[in-house]
Structure 1
Amino acid sequence: MPLPVRALVSASLLVLAAACAGEPAQPVKAAADVDWPFYGGDAGGQRYSAAAQITPANVTGLKVAWTYSTGDLARHPKAIEHAAFENTPILAGGRLYVCSQFNRVSALDPGTGKELWAHDPGIDDSVHYPNDNICRGVTYWADPEAPAGAACAARIFLPTVDRRLIALDAATGAPCTGFGKGGTVDVGQGVLLERKGQMQITSPPVIVNGVIVVGSSIDDNQRVEEVSGVVRAYDARTGAPKWAFDPLANAGPGVKAGAANVWAPMSADPARGLVFLPTSSASPDFFGGLRPGNGGMANSVVALDAATGQPRWSFQTVHHDIWDYDIPAQPTLADVGYGGRTTPAVIQATKQGLIFTLARDTGAPVIPVEERPAPQGGAPGEPLSPTQPFPIAPKPLSPTKISEKDAYGLTPWDRGKCRELIRGARHEGIYTPPSTQGTILYPFTGGGVNWGGLAFDAGRQVVYVNTSSALHRVTLIPVDKVQATKQAEMGKEVSAQRGAPYGMKREVLLSPLGLPCNPPPWGQLHAVDMRTGKVLWEVPLGTTRDLAPGSQLLLGNVGVPNAGGPVATASGLVFIGAAMDDYLRAFDGASGRELWKGRLPAGGQATPMTYVWKGRQYVVIAAGGHGKSNTKRGDSVVAFALPGPLT
């Protein structure tokens, strides 16, 4: 079969670039080795590296050092259309560990990308997983009590989309037979599902003092009494159950709901013996009449005692959520110098484009939070919260209100169509309740910030975070009209919310030309000074090059929606893929200026990582595209480095 045109063009550009590279590579000063042993760089998820060999002065010299293929493209040629390569590799114990879309975990040589071992758990790719086939990461653990050199003295814990937690010998990839049954724990044991794929595990577990904690991803908007979002803990050596925590256990009498699960990555503070959970919304997303009250510990940052599963504190970021504004990102643990006082804190970014900063020991706001009046007049039987919490700083990083005069379009015709869409929907700013008229959610349920989270440079006291901007229109559908709506609007998301008096329809508001109806930028990268809460800079992120070839000249620098997060380094660089074009980028952390971009073989909707191995710094990203973003699919892990000889 001939190569696709896109592949031919990319290959031609690579040949041309090689032919034009006339100058020999400059010597590179060897650096001290630096690992990346956790999904978020460290247990607290700061996504920061002390690596400083690559600098703003030399970053333009980055070249592809090696590329590794997981093989998923060949093994799952049809199912890969419904997969997302969101993995962030980890480097620990001298090996780089990668988890593919279909949960195949590989150990690689960090300097060459050569596969050292691989374990395929045999995911059934005929099962439709509503949240796609995803493995954001694996977890490394060195048992402090194990004899040196013993089998499974160091372990890789692999979470799977079919609800398994698998322990593998980090040196060989062999299952740790003393863990669970033959190396596997069934995390969904005893959970009754209506169908396969209803409950997944998509994010890496965390380990605190020998206790491994795992969350779950649950299908949205299907019914009122959904599967419970219980977080479970096991003995990291044996797999024996330790405890279970249900965020809705204290939701109050008369509440009918499930979910409130933890699908995003968690964080850990081993010194305090705490694990930090970002909980999601209770079911169903867009009608809460059968779950009166604020939802217990749904939509909350929850600090649990890792030994017992007992909550130490919780802080709710949305009261009585009916907007799918669950907490999507890993809580970031950092010492924050706000107001001239250093406080051990939790920094939590949200889909609303808000950043909450909470004291790590108590959950009290470090940066004050105000309860502000929220729009009222929900659907009949909807007990809305009269207020919602807003931090006084930083400002919202995403726009939250739109009127028809703000409608975007390239021509008066398509702008007019967007004006009609906006004018015809209910919208009184953020937290306008869903309605049968159709309500605009702005930001849309993809963010603001999503699962990519933020990076924090503690020395500079700066948060780097990316956001997306689009409009969702959510329409409540009386229960007796749901089936007819499904049949009439086959290409749109229509869900029954079974057990509620309303189903729902959710759609992105686009012009007839397929462009967002809200004004650009549609994707941004921001820098926030956490000493003051002030936004230092914000710049568009990404281009429309791979969404609509040729459109970039017409649209300009509009930014695009994105999936994945940033990484900060000691030299002052910020690396990020995420955008819906096939690039990894480097930005100057001081100014926000884009300094470099490297072409990827497929969509880079993942969070990169960086490390120093045998004196050379590498920046690595998964490039396999994203099913829901419809970016180019693939199965590559790409490493960039400065190519010069080490001195």
Structure 2
Amino acid sequence: MQALPQCLRARFFWCIAVLLLSAIGVARGQAANSVEWPAYGNDAGGMRFSPLKQINPTNVKQLTVAWTFRTGELEHYKGTSADEKAAFEATPIMVDGTLFFSTPTSRVFAVDAATGQKKWDYNPDVYLRQDLSEITSRGVSCWPAPADKRASGSSGKRIFVATLDGRLIALDAVTGKPISTFGKEGSVDLRKGVGNISVTSPPAVIGNTIVVGSSMGDNQRFNYERGVVRAYDALTGALRWSWDPIPRSKNDAGFTTWKGAEATQTGAANAWSLISADAERDLVFIPTTSPSPDYYGGERIGSNLYASSIVAIRASTGKVVWHFQTVHHDLWDYDNASQPLLFTFTKNGKAVPAVAVGTKVGHVFILNRETGVPLLPVEERPVPKSTVPGEEAFPTQPFPATLPLLGLPKLEAWGLTPDDKAVAQRRINSLHYEGMFTPPSLQGSLIAPGNVGGVHWGGMCYDPQSGLLITNINRLAAAIRLLPREKLAESVKNDQELLRAETGMQAGTPYVMKRSYLFTKDGRGIIMQTPPPWGTLVAINLQKGSLAWEVPLGYMMDITKYPQAKQWGSLNFGGAIATAGGVIFVAASLDGHLRAFNTQDGSLLWEVALPAGGQATPMTYQINGQQYVVIAAGGHGKLGTKLGDYVVAYRLP
């Protein structure tokens, strides 16, 4: 080509530069049009915050159904009693334009994020006639984790699911086929050497390591399965390390906090909830639970480290870095049920890596992520003594000194009518109660709040723009009575209330446990026996140490007959998410609605009836320039909400 004159040459290169910049801009625009939700809590630390702003308080009322996907899950329950326990509690993840999620029976689906069309599904064929305490799966995990520089060695993404029957399975994210080089034909047996465990939460992903806990039944015996946490190589499935929260030998740290001839045979203290990961610091944060059984600790006198704790473990070695015990010598089933939330806290003008811990008691602890030292004051306060022969309740418990209590700090009788209230008062008067941390007793004790929270497995979210920590909570008291085993038949013979109560045999201890809750149920519905609200959505200003706002969440009674029930709140299971648009999304309540609240003041902005119960945490993402909000709506068998098999996506018109 003939050489161009200098003036034309300059214009030519200017045009080329413009074209190149335009191409880069288009590429960046395409990237900006897609915002993922790559882990259960969006980030590996479970902050459950999205930077998306398209949906905001002014337009959220315009949300409509974009698509609905059905899993066909209910067909899998036929011929079994699975529907009595099944709960669709999954939160989908979104990676590379695809939603990935699991059903209660651990089946995995990949769905196009824009259209809701199925790409593939995988069925691990869980046998539903085996003894399963829970039938749920809260989701799957994707490897490698975004921006995790520690991950390497494979060109393809993998989807990990941990199943009800104790398997860790690696699937190709594109095809849904098991990775044949992982474990044995794509699967690792988690029950091998441990026992009859399940897994109900997605595993944590950090570098080339997959960290997984376990779920097991409660209160049936003293020597339950060991609550080990294990780490596996994400490429091969090889075991990297295993950590038992209960010290088994004299050389183990914490051994002296377990006293009794058979204390080392105690089971559980497992991590059934979400494990958080900090790749930069090579740490995973393990939320452990009560030792077995939940309500009698005479075989394990002492504070019982590392049960009912948050434990930071070095992901590369499995070594404990620090621990913080939220309940000493747990006698109340106060598992750490919610995911430890990793965020940045400002103290004395400095940004500090922190972890927020919300408990069933209703406590919120803010700890230094690197050391476990409280960033806000914690006090050890005296609590009631046990009157049960053989038991020794721990003399003190930790209380956050400057943050509000979110549980049920005091008990009063309540009823729809004066007669209802009188019945409630008689019941409360018949039970032992000395305030928070009243231990179980032979007479029967009031545990307030009961084992469903406070802060439950739905957990917390954090909005870094406003500095608000947001969570939904329950306010429900439990009645716990221990019955001498040799007098069990005599004790329940003429006591209809005890006959109806849930029974935990607690084999290996002198006592059988009976558990019920402070409500009655009749043709009017569930009649609570303590004052409303029974379920709320709460925002805490961490810098001020005070409630920013608190509003009722949902309702439990027929609002055509009892319109005031909208102000009474509902028991709830499933969490909330926050967005940069100033909107909080949450379902969880028993009335089957998805709701949007204003982050600033908690005002209700929008609500829509779901096709089935919404006992799950929603998520949000953007694709093709459009923001979507998605929730699993499949109900909860134990709670009696409507069962279904729906995943519903909403967007603006």
TM-score for the superposition, normalised by structure 2: 0.89
2:454 to 437, 448, 453: 448
Give the superposition deviation at 1:555. Answer: 3.4
Distance across 2 between alignment mates of 1:32 and 1:192:
47
Counterpart secondary structure, 1:337: strand
Aligned equivalent of 1:395: 404
Q: Which runs of 5+ in 1 are unaligned?
A: 1-29, 194-198
Distance across 2 between alignment mates of 1:554 and 1:331:
35
Alignment of 1:419-430 (within 5 A): 419-430=425-436
Counterpart secondary structure, 1:345: strand
Matched letter for residue 539 of structure 2:
A
Give the superposition deviation at 1:75. Answer: 2.5
Aligned equivalent of 2:56: 55
Give the superposition deviation at 1:553. Answer: 1.9
Give the number of equivalent residue pairs: 600
2:511 to 502, 506, 515: 502
CA contact (8 A) 2:577 2:617 kept: yes
CA contact (8 A) 2:432 2:446 kept: yes
Aligned equivalent of 1:214: 212
Give the superposition deviation at 1:200. Answer: 0.9
Aligned equivalent of 1:386: 395
Going from structure 1 to structure 2, the CA distance change for 1:293 and 1:447 (only over 3 Å counts) comes to same
1:312 to 321, 324, 343: 321
1:267 to 251, 254, 276: 276
Alignment of 1:482-521 (within 5 A): 482=488, 489-511=498-520, 513=522, 514-521=526-533
Cα displacement string for residues 41-92 of structure 1 (whole angstroms, at most 9, x for unaligned residues)? 1000000000110000000000011000011012324522320000000001
Matched letter for residue 631 of structure 1:
T
Aligned equivalent of 2:71: 70
Aligned equivalent of 2:338: 329
Give the superposition deviation at 1:490. Answer: 5.0
Give the superposition deviation at 1:159. Answer: 0.8
Cα displacement string for residues 401-448 of structure 1 (whole angstroms, at most 9, x for unaligned residues)? 21xxx2111111111000000001000111011001100011111000
Give the superposition deviation at 1:556. Answer: 4.4
Aligned equivalent of 1:42: 43
2:241 to 227, 240, 243: 243
Q: Which runs of 5+ in 2 are unaligned?
A: 1-30, 146-150, 248-253
Distance across 2 between alignment mates of 1:486 and 1:137:
41
Q: Does 1:119 align with 2:122?
A: yes
CA RMSD of aligned residues (A): 1.7
Give the superposition deviation at 1:337. Answer: 1.8
Deviates more, 1:501-510 or 1:75-84: 75-84
Aligned equivalent of 1:414: 420
Give the superposition deviation at 1:628. Answer: 1.9
Aligned equivalent of 1:621: 631
Cα displacement string for residues 578-598 of structure 1 (whole angstroms, at most 9, x for unaligned residues)? 111111100000011000012
Matched letter for residue 449 of structure 2:
P
Aligned equivalent of 1:634: 644
Distance across 1 between alignment mates of 2:308 and 2:619:
28
CA contact (8 A) 1:407 1:418 kept: yes
Distance across 2 between alignment mates of 1:147 and 1:334:
30
Distance across 2 between alignment mates of 1:378 and 1:241:
45
Alignment of 1:562-573 (within 5 A): 562-573=572-583
Give the superposition deviation at 1:491. Answer: 3.7
Give the superposition deviation at 1:480. Answer: 1.1
CA contact (8 A) 1:544 1:552 kept: no
Give the superposition deviation at 1:512. Answer: 6.3
Aligned equivalent of 1:204: 202
Cα displacement string for residues 161-195 of structure 1 (whole angstroms, at most 9, x for unaligned residues)? 000000000010000000000000001102244xx
Matched letter for residue 367 of structure 1:
L
Matched letter for residue 232 of structure 1:
R
Q: Does 1:539 align with 2:551?
A: yes
Aligned equivalent of 1:462: 468
Distance across 2 between alignment mates of 1:485 and 1:89:
47
Distance across 2 between alignment mates of 1:482 and 1:604:
39
Q: Does 1:106 align with 2:109?
A: yes
Q: Does 1:598 align with 2:604?
A: no
Going from structure 1 to structure 2, the CA distance change for 1:482 and 1:597 (only over 3 Å counts) comes to same
Matched letter for residue 217 of structure 1:
S
Cα displacement string for residues 257-306 of structure 1 (whole angstroms, at most 9, x for unaligned residues)? 11000000110000000000000011111111110111111010000001
CA contact (8 A) 2:107 2:123 kept: yes
CA contact (8 A) 1:338 1:533 kept: no
Alignment of 1:273-352 (within 5 A): 273-338=282-347, 340-352=349-361
Distance across 2 between alignment mates of 1:480 and 1:465:
44
CA contact (8 A) 1:251 1:297 kept: no
Alignment of 1:142-181 (within 5 A): 142=144, 144-146=151-153, 148=155, 153-181=156-184
Distance across 2 between alignment mates of 1:519 and 1:529:
25
Answer with 1 or 2: which has the greater Rg: 2
CA contact (8 A) 2:110 2:118 kept: yes
Distance across 2 between alignment mates of 1:458 and 1:554:
34
CA contact (8 A) 2:386 2:392 kept: no
CA contact (8 A) 1:251 1:294 kept: no
Distance across 2 between alignment mates of 1:49 and 1:483:
55
Cα displacement string for residues 103-125 of structure 1 (whole angstroms, at most 9, x for unaligned residues)? 11000000111000000001112
Distance across 2 between alignment mates of 1:364 and 1:244:
25
Distance across 1 between alignment mates of 2:551 and 2:164:
35
Going from structure 1 to structure 2, the CA distance change for 1:433 and 1:466 (only over 3 Å counts) comes to same
Distance across 2 between alignment mates of 1:32 and 1:462:
27
Counterpart secondary structure, 1:453: strand
Matched letter for residue 623 of structure 1:
A
Aligned equivalent of 1:225: 223
CA contact (8 A) 2:152 2:207 kept: no
Distance across 1 between alignment mates of 2:576 and 2:561:
26
CA contact (8 A) 1:378 1:384 kept: no
Q: Does 1:32 align with 2:54?
A: no
Counterpart secondary structure, 1:74: helix
Q: Does 1:577 align with 2:587?
A: yes
Matched letter for residue 355 of structure 1:
V
Distance across 1 between alignment mates of 2:388 and 2:438:
11
Going from structure 1 to structure 2, the CA distance change for 1:556 and 1:98 (only over 3 Å counts) comes to closer
Distance across 2 between alignment mates of 1:551 and 1:110:
40
Matched letter for residue 529 of structure 1:
N
TM-score for the superposition, normalised by structure 1: 0.90
